Amino acid sequence: MKFGETFKEYLHGDQEWFLDKFSHVEYKRLKRVLKSCRTCQALHGSNKKTEQIDDEENPMLSQFCQCQSCPVCDQMFFTELMREATDIAGCFSSRVRHLLHLHVATGMQRYVLRIRQCFKNDQQDLVQEGRMLIEYITMNAIAIRKILKKYDKVHSSVNGKKFKSKMRAEHLELLQSPWLIELGAFYLNFNGSDGGEFIQFSGSFACDLNATEPVMTMVLPNSIKLEYDLTCAICLETVFNPYALTCGHLFCKSCACSAASVMIFQGLKAASPDSKCPICREAGVYANAVNMLELDLLIKRRHRDYWKERLIAERAEMVKQSKEYWESQTKYVIGY
């Protein structure tokens, strides 16, 4: 079955009620845009004989682009696809944030949720929604990849690949979202730890924290395998109290604060807009950093001794920084 038919079945299947709330790739309509591109069709038709002759004389020519861009397609195609990718990423992150907030709720909200579970056990509902969100982001990521590949094939260009690079630069690479890592950690935490079991799901999740290089592995629908490195690039240890910067890189909170030249108790929101990621050197990536609560919970449960050791060290460093900060503030006010 072609992907277009598979994607159509997915949109109108059992999860249609769920997908009505979210944006998705207009795969069929974008394919029609490509088919209606008469400019490129005329260009390919007029050059068909010439290309055949050139290919026979020099086979290497067939490997290069014959049409670098198409104004008819580009204006409609890439603008629309970028808008859809932005909407999909926004819908996914907001819904996952809400879902995980219910799972790792603290304080009074956690107490209310526990009382609610006495009357209604909604843990299975959370897992079911998590499964649908993973399928949602996976199917749309595949749709974007397929339609860009189709664009390059129709136009004999590399503009589709360039657009993928642009999406990556603007942090719209759907399968690299930190919220997908959080969903994977959510499933691993839920498996037995919360008194529940995995519902039937076509993907699988694994996390090896005792390896030399700790990684989380996900096998998503359509046999898409993803691996996420859980090593902090600053301290070279497994991330503790992890934060994902908007560029996608993971760090311990204390390490990220050190890189941003702020104190731990101040938090990453206090970082200067000019502060750069230690890996990619992109500026302004700290203000909207994601606190990876599910991943931290996973590390706490599976690597308890290490987690406790890092917690003690971070608290000691926080107390030290707080003391130095207030001493300096006191000296400044007093004037010596």
* Helices and strands, number each (H, E), in the chain: 12, 6
Predicted pLDDT at 196: 46
Residue 104 CB neighbour total at 10 angstroms: 14
- For the chain, the average pLDDT equals 79
pLDDT of 39-53, one tens digit each?
A: 555 555 555 444 444
pLDDT of 7-34, one tens digit each?
A: 777 777 766 666 777 788 888 778 777 7
Give me the count of residues in the chain.
336
Confidence category of residue 70, pLDDT binned at 50, 70, 90: low
Predicted pLDDT at 242: 94
pLDDT of 101-150, one tens digit each?
A: 877 766 566 566 556 555 455 667 777 888 888 888 988 999 898 888 88
Residue listed under structure tokens 């030399």: 212
What mean pLDDT comes out for the span 291-313? Answer: 92
What mean pLDDT comes out for the span 277-282? Answer: 92
Name which of 27-36, 106-115, 219-228, 297-306 the model is least confident about.
106-115
| DSSP E strand stretches across the chain | 204-208, 215-220, 224-229, 242-244, 250-252, 290-291
Q: Which of 275, 306, 279, 302 is nearest to 288 (CA)?
A: 275
3-state secondary structure of 207: strand
Residue percentage of the chain with pLDDT more than 90: 25
| Bridge partners for 290 per DSSP | 244
Residue percentage of the chain with pLDDT more than 70: 76
Model-wide pTM > 0.75: yes
pLDDT of 161-172, one tens digit each?
A: 888 888 888 888
- Tell me the three-class secondary structure of 135-184, residue by residue: HHHHHHHHHHHHHHHHHHHHHCCCHHHHHHHHHHHCCCCHHHCHHHHHHH
Name which of 108-117, 231-240, 287-296 the model is least confident about.
108-117
pLDDT of 306-331, one tens digit each?
A: 999 999 999 999 999 999 888 888 87
DSSP string for 103-122: HS--HHHHHHHHHHHHH---
Separation CA 113–CA 67 (nearest Å): 58
Q: Residue 204 above 70 pLDDT?
A: yes
Q: Which of 147, 175, 5 is nearest to 88 (CA)?
A: 175
